[in-house]
Structure 1
C-alpha cells in the first residue's frame, strides 16, 4: 500500500509555496498605512521599540530587532509576555513603539501585554494575520499579513509575511531607497528561492537525532525558526545559536558526524560564519552552509535585509521533504495545535 504522504501535496508545502504571492499582496495593500505609521514615527521618534510574540512570531521579532537597530539605530528589545500576563507588572513604555506579532491575534498573554503597553504610553502596532482578532481590535495600528488561512500547524507563509511586514515598515521609516527598491524585487526572488535545490540537507538528516542551527545578526531569527521546524515537523532535536554565541560552550559538542546547518547572512557577519563552518568541518562535523559560497544555494537577494526571507523559503521546501522522508506528516505534529493560547 502506498504512503499517502507521497501521493499528495501537504498543506505545509502548498502554503509555503504561496509566500511570494502573499508578500506581493501585502506590500500593495499595506502601503498607505505603513507610510502613515512611518511618518508618525519620524515626527515623534520612539525612545525604543519593544516586541512581544511567541513561537515563530518571536523569531520574526528577532529579525525586527536586528533590522531596526542596524537601519535606524533604535534600541529594540523583546518584552517577555509573562511579565504582564502572569506577574502583572506594569512597564514604563511612554513614547515607545510596541510591536505585537501573532498569526491568530488571540493568545491571552499577548493581549494582556498589548493592553498594558497602551496603558503605559506606548503606540501599539499589531502585525497579525486575522484582521478581526482581539489583538487587532486593541492596537493603535494594524499591519495585516494578508496571508489567508493557514491550516498547517507549522507556520510558513505567515512567518515570511511577518518578516516582510517588518521589512516594509523599516523601509518606509528609514526612507532608505535601497530597501524600497528591494521590496519591489522581493516577490520574484521568493519564487526563485522556492525552486532552490536543498535536497542534500534532507538526504543528510534522514537518520539524524540532533543538530545545531547557526545564524547571526539578521540571520539569527531564521536559525531560530529552522530549529523549531526541525522539532515540530521532523521530531528532530535542534538547537539554534548565534554563530558567535555557540563558541561560548555549546561548540564543545561538535565533533565527528555532528550535524550543523549554518545560515551565512550576506553582510559583515558572513566571513565569521563561514570560518566557523570550516572549523567544524575540520573536526569531522557534517556541515551544510546556506550561502552564495556554500553548498545550499541561495537565491540572489535584492538587498542583504531580504536574504533571511529567501533562505527560510528554500528551507521550508527542504524541511517538508525531510519530514515526509522520516515518515511524519508535517501538517499534524504530535501534541500541537494550530493556535496556542498561553496565559
Structure 2
C-alpha cells in the first residue's frame, strides 16, 4: 500500500510538471507502463533464441500444409497484431489472410467447414478470454489447425494449440500492454520468416533487438504540446505501419482518454480527411517500403488545410510535417514498423500523465478482458 501511494504521488507530480509546461525527459517519467515497454529489446532477443527450434518446425509444418488461406482470431491490441500478421503473410508468404470474428465461433457456432486444414492464428496475451477460447475450440472442431501466439503458456488457449508459440514477455502489470505487444509482433515475424523462407525477413531477425533499443531511446516529446489538449486525432499508417497506427490509436484512447482513430494513408482520402480542421493534429507512422507511395502528397494536403502534421518516417516522405519524430530509416521495413511502436509508447506514457491520468490503471479497464 505504501508503495502504491508513493507511486501515485509520483504520477501526480510528473503530471503537474507536464501540465505546467516544465521540461521533463520522457524516458525519466517512471511508470510501470514505461518500464515494461523498455524491457522489450531483451525480451525479444531471448524469445528469438528460445523459440528458434519450435518456430523452425512450425514453419516447416505450415509450408508442407500449403493452405489456400489463413485466418486470425484476436481482440484489442492482439487484433492489431493480427493485422500485422495479415500483412506479413500476404506480402512475404503469399497466403491470403482473413480476420475470423470470435463471435462467429463463440456465439453463433457458425464456423465454416472451409476451415479444415487451414491455420487459425489465435493471438492473446492472457489466453483466458472466453470468446477466443470458444471460437478456437469451434474452429478446431471444424478441422482448423490452431496456431496459438500467447504470453501465458499455462492458459486454456495455449493448451488448445496444435502449434503454440510463447511470446515470453513475462508478467505485465500495467493494464496497457506494451512489451507483450512488441514481443507478439516479433513472434509473428519469426513465424512468417520460417514459413515463407524469405531471406530478407530471416536476416532481419537479429537486428530487431538493437533496433528496439535505438527506438526506445528516441525522444518524441516535441509532439506532446500539440497532443496534450487535443480532443480527437487521426492516426495514419500504411502497409506494415497501419497496424502500428491502430495500436497507437488504441493506446491513446486507453491511457490518455484521447479519441483517436487509425486509417490507411490511402483510405483517409475517402472521407475521413474532411473532418480535419485548421490546427488539428494528425499523427503519421510512415512506412519504409513501397506503401509509402503517395504519402508525401497526402501530408501536403493535410498541411494545406492547416493541420499540425506530426510524423515519423523517411525525410523525403514527411517533408510537409510540422513536427518530425526521429526514427532510423535504415532498417528492414518490418523492423522499422516494430521500432515505431516502441518509440511511441514513451510518448503515450507522457501524454497520459500530461492529461492527468494514470497510464498503468486506465478507468473501466482490466488486464484480462473476459468477453463472451
User: Does the alignment reach a TM-score above 0.5?
Assistant: yes
Structure 2 partner of 1:251:
273
Question: Could you tell me whether the CA contact under 8 Å between 2:178 and 2:345 is conserved in 1?
Answer: yes
Structure 2 partner of 1:39:
60
Question: Could you tell me whether the CA contact under 8 Å between 2:106 and 2:138 is conserved in 1?
Answer: no
Q: CA deviation at 1:273?
A: 2.1
Q: In the alignment, is residue 329 of structure 1 matched against residue 358 of structure 2?
A: yes
Structure 2 partner of 1:72:
93
Please give the per-residue CA displacement for 1:72-110, whole angstroms capped at 9, x wherever unaligned: 111001000111111121322011011000000000110
| CA distance in 2 between partners of 1:147 and 1:57 (Å) | 14
Q: In the alignment, is residue 296 of structure 1 matched against residue 325 of structure 2?
A: yes
**What are the ranges of 5 or more consecutive residues in structure 2 without an aligned counterpart?**
1-5, 15-28, 319-323
Q: CA deviation at 1:309?
A: 0.6
Structure 1 partner of 2:121:
99
Q: CA deviation at 1:228?
A: 0.5
| CA distance in 2 between partners of 1:117 and 1:180 (Å) | 30
Q: In the alignment, is residue 234 of structure 1 matched against residue 256 of structure 2?
A: yes
Structure 2 partner of 1:276:
298
Question: Could you tell me whether the CA contact under 8 Å between 2:211 and 2:335 is conserved in 1?
Answer: no
| CA distance in 2 between partners of 1:302 and 1:291 (Å) | 11
Q: In the alignment, is residue 4 of structure 1 matched against residue 30 of structure 2?
A: no
Question: Could you tell me whether the CA contact under 8 Å between 1:52 and 1:78 is conserved in 2?
Answer: yes
Q: CA deviation at 1:43?
A: 1.5
Q: CA deviation at 1:300?
A: 3.9
Q: CA deviation at 1:275?
A: 1.9
Does the residue aligned with 1:143 lie in a helix, a strand or coil? Answer: strand
Q: In the alignment, is residue 131 of structure 1 matched against residue 153 of structure 2?
A: yes
* Segments ≥4 residues shifted beyond 4 Å: none
Does the residue aligned with 2:363 lie in a helix, a strand or coil? Answer: coil
Q: TM-score, normalised by structure 1?
A: 0.97
Structure 2 partner of 1:87:
108
Question: Could you tell me whether the CA contact under 8 Å between 2:313 and 2:329 is conserved in 1?
Answer: no
Q: CA deviation at 1:301?
A: 5.0
Does the residue aligned with 1:269 lie in a helix, a strand or coil? Answer: helix
Question: Could you tell me whether the CA contact under 8 Å between 1:215 and 1:273 is conserved in 2?
Answer: no
Q: TM-score, normalised by structure 2?
A: 0.90
Structure 1 partner of 2:170:
148
Structure 2 partner of 1:171:
193
Please give the per-residue CA displacement for 1:48-91, whole angstroms capped at 9, x wherever unaligned: 11000000000000011011101111100100011111112132
Structure 1 partner of 2:83:
62
Question: Could you tell me whether the CA contact under 8 Å between 1:91 and 1:116 is conserved in 2?
Answer: no
| CA distance in 1 between partners of 2:365 and 2:153 (Å) | 24
Please give the per-residue CA displacement for 1:136-166, whole angstroms capped at 9, x wherever unaligned: 0111011101000001010001111111011
Q: CA deviation at 1:3?
A: 4.8
Q: In the alignment, is residue 20 of structure 1 matched against residue 41 of structure 2?
A: yes
Does the residue aligned with 1:330 lie in a helix, a strand or coil? Answer: coil
Q: Aligned-residue CA RMSD in angstroms?
A: 1.4
Q: CA deviation at 1:292?
A: 2.7
Structure 1 partner of 2:23:
none
Please give the per-residue CA displacement for 1:241-264, whole angstroms capped at 9, x wherever unaligned: 111111111111012011110111
Which is further off, 148-157 or 5-14?
5-14
Does the residue aligned with 1:302 lie in a helix, a strand or coil? Answer: coil
| CA distance in 2 between partners of 1:291 and 1:4 (Å) | 33
**What are the ranges of 5 or more consecutive residues in structure 1 without an aligned counterpart?**
none
